[in-house]
Chain A
């Protein structure tokens, strides 16, 4: 167990709908990352928040948005859903690394989204 929690585990919805995925980072971790994992694209970085502020953006569609709240939990909002948005969505959190090492990203169990 990584200590990162994600809800819901599974989500089935229809095209055109809007969903919200939730992530609670490990205690003390200030950074939250969102990733999308699909069979054809692999694991793709979407967006990073650090202590409530957006820090980096990856291949995130305009229909998607995220935020990190004062209690450090984060939500990923997906709107106008399309069939191609069906994927696993992972949240990860990280702690500041010791000098000379990378931050270790701890991944949650993911939310499996199916758009019908």
Chain B
């Protein structure tokens, strides 16, 4: 079993839809959970991160972590064509402050938001 599993999609939704993206993981040591967005032919960029379990909201984006189920989600409300990208979840077991940030990534879900 891979450490992080993510449905590659592709996922196609109409503009304005609520999008749900998710990842499952097997390593109980993961503490930090991140979502990266990668536009075509670009490098990934950090969208949001959460620590341990709980929710975090940033504008139209909400990240959820359920450590008991080893399941994380990213919700996008009122999706826009500009949200069309590949979304990668990433996880790290380490605390930070100059430590080793060995992120483990999911394979990414390709999202297309149609006008």
Contact = CB atoms under 8 A, between A and B. Distances in A.
B97 A99 contact: yes
Contacts of A90: 43-44
Contacts of B106: 42
Contacts of A108: 43
Nearest to B92: A102
A43 B92 CA distance: 14
A102 B101 contact: yes
Interface string A76-103: 0000000000000010101011011111
Interface string A33-51: 1000000011111001010
Nearest to B94: A102
Interface of A: 2, 4, 31, 33, 41-45, 48, 50, 55-56, 58, 90, 92, 94, 96-97, 99-110
B44 A96 contact: no
Interface stretch (B12-20, B45-53, B71-79): B45-53
Given A105-B46, A109-B43, A96 B97 contact: yes
**Top-7 shortest CB links A-B:** A107-B43, A42-B107, A56-B100, A43-B105, A97-B96, A102-B32, A103-B101
B100 A48 contact: yes
Given A42-B107, A56-B102, A97 B45 contact: no
B42 interface: yes
Given A2-B45, A110-B43, A102 B98 contact: no
A4 B100 CA distance: 19
Contacts of A58: 102
B44 to A, nearest CB: 5
Contacts of B108: 42-43
B104 interface: yes
A57 B108 CA distance: 22
Interface string B50-61: 010000000000
Contact of A103 (B43, B51, B96): B96
